[in-house]
Amino acid sequence: MDMGKIETIDETTTNILMGHPHKVILFNDEDHDMYEVCTQIEKATGYNSQHAWAIMMEANNTGRAIVFSGGLERCEHVEAILAEIRLSTKIEPA
């Protein structure tokens, strides 16, 4: 690639490559302890424990938190891993 050349990708191209963005919502959970929820968030997303803890605390304090945003297939994958321990989630368009 020529370093002097700048490539741009317009919004239409991005939508074709990635699809429309979605987000995985995690709802507050009373059935699992905080550490279980954090561990599952880490497993589903690859986030570090500090980031996972912040997401879990947001869900705990407000009733819901965005766990992940991205393409639909990746969101479905993240949601499936969270569902392994029956965490309550939902995928919405971003």
Q: Cα dihedral sign for 29, 45, 21, 57?
A: positive
Q: How far is residue 76's CA from residue 19's CA, in Å, rounded to a whole number?
A: 13
User: What's the rounded Cα separation, in Å, for the pair 30 and 36?
Assistant: 11
Domain ranges of the chain: 31-93
Q: Specify the pLDDT at position 27.
A: 98
**End-to-end Cα distance, the chain:** 33
Residues 37-91 pLDDT 10s: 999 999 999 999 999 999 999 999 999 999 999 999 999 999 999 999 999 999 9
Instruction: Tell me how crowded residue 60 is: count the other CB atoms within 10 A of its CB.
Output: 16
The reported pTM is 0.79
The encoded tokens of residue 37 equal 């929820």
- Please check whether residue 88 is in contact with residue 29, taking contact to mean a CB–CB distance below 8 angstroms: yes
